[in-house]
Amino acid sequence: MTLEPAIHPSWKEELSEQFSKPYFLQIKKTLLEEKKQGILIYPPGNLIFNAFNLTPFDEVKVVIIGQDPYHGTGQAHGLSFSVPFDTKAPPSLKNIFAELHDDLQLEIPGHGNLTSWAKQGVLLLNAILTVQASKAASHKHIGWEEFTDGAITKLSEKRAGLVFLLWGKFAEAKKTLIDENKHYVLTAPHPSPFSAHSGFFGCKHFSKANEILQHEGYNPIDWQLQTKAVSE
């Protein structure tokens, strides 16, 4: 039995060996069993691989690693730190925008949808791709990290000159998967309100990333989001 996820062909090719491995089949089994039990899972099934579908393998320039999806109603849509247009930005994302404003003097948007970053080559990758409603990290041990570690490893091996933004201890642990002779790794505390003041604010990762990309011959990221307002 092989699970064929609705994932961009470039990623399907790079990760093809993962889809028939026992751990990946176990992920499918776990999700199906939980759904049969009436457990609500985020994001919706068609958005589980959203990060991969919006940012094809050969178009990745920057990687921002999150832990797992938001577990509140309507928040998760398959991109780390991002929320849909009609959802208010969570605290960590507000702090990301504050640092963007300080770093690049960008206007703080009225929404938290980071899709435009993904379409420019920013892989917004959660290490864990699903979560039970209202239960943070509830899918931590069902196998997703092996899959996403595989994706990071493939990028490290087959691409060059990428910028990895690792915020917080969880993301920093992924450094072991990245060849720092070929890629650039920038680390900082997590943008959570509990840690942002200990070094995330002032890290200037967005301007630094663009400087690196230009040095490597890539177009820089336009970090400014459109300022579509979200009703209170």
CB 186 within 8 A of CB 164: yes
Q: What is the DSSP letter of 220?
A: P
Pick the catalytic residue from 58, 68, 86, 149: 68
Helix or strand run (H / E) with residue 167: strand 163-167
Cα 219 to chain centroid distance, Å, stands at: 20
Integer Cα distance of 46 and 77 in angstroms: 9
CB 127 within 8 A of CB 66: yes
Which of 223, 209, 219 is closest to 116 using CA atoms?
223
Active site residue 68: yes
CB 125 within 8 A of CB 153: no
CA distances from 3 to 20, 26, 38, 150 (A): 7, 10, 22, 16
Integer Cα distance of 96 and 92 in angstroms: 6
SS3 label, residue 62: strand
Enumerate the active-site residues. 68
